[in-house]
Amino acid sequence: LCLIPVFNAIAKLSGESQNGVYDDVQGYEDNEKNLSKAFEKKDISRCDIIITIEIVENLIFRRIDLAGKIVRQYQGLLDLHGRVQLRFASIYRIFYSGLVAFHCFRATQEQYWLNRGTEAIKDMETWTNECKWNFENKMLLLNTEYYFSIGDFDKATEGYHLSITLARNHRFVCEEAIANELGAYFQLERGRVDLSMCFMKQAIECYQSWGALKKAEILKHTLQNL
């Protein structure tokens, strides 16, 4: 049943039908219901997976306000359990929550979000020391979003390029796509439309390669309006 939220997210990102996915598991199509059932059963691992996927999906589709609400509602509880038993999903929840946090900080200037983002950086630095291949590009992207948030644009400009290069070299195509997209928004906010378009085109190619065709189509429309 932990796979059902994954199927939900894949279908939304790809734009493909979910027909046949739920033939043997009727009633689990709704992630909210899945999460409620998981909490009822005190299945924290499944809660973590569902919440992580919801954060990732809302971030990718730029529903940042909703992603922020999910982070604020559940992150503290899951962090508490994660200190007892770190789960694979927890690492990705912390990474994507950090990206959400820096966006929310830039929008609101609320210290909570800056603290949440910097905590994510500290965690990623710890994991990078243990395995640079898996985590260095993630740490760099979080640091880059931090620099963007505090107005250090030179370091942010360099950071986007470094995180994109590492994600590409380490074959994390989804994270390469996200880093390119965030780089595009960074350049657009600074009034550098041509550079923003270059990042956006690379993001579209990466999302297509990843199979997130629905997301790629959305970015194509965004690109046309730049």
Contacts 24+ apart (CB under 8 A), 207-212: 207/177, 209/173, 210/173, 210/174, 210/177, 211/10, 211/13, 211/14, 212/13, 212/14, 212/60, 212/174, 212/177
Q: What is the pLDDT of residue 33?
A: 74
Q: What is the pLDDT of residue 89?
A: 77
Give the other-Cβ count within 10 Å of 194's Cβ. Answer: 8
Residue numbers of the chain with a pLDDT score lower than 70: 1-9, 17-31, 35, 38-39, 79-87
Q: What is the pLDDT of residue 123?
A: 94
Q: What is the pLDDT of residue 23?
A: 47
Q: What is the pLDDT of residue 26?
A: 47
Q: What is the pLDDT of residue 110?
A: 98
Of all residues in the chain, the percent with pLDDT exceeding 90 is 67
Q: What is the pLDDT of residue 8?
A: 67
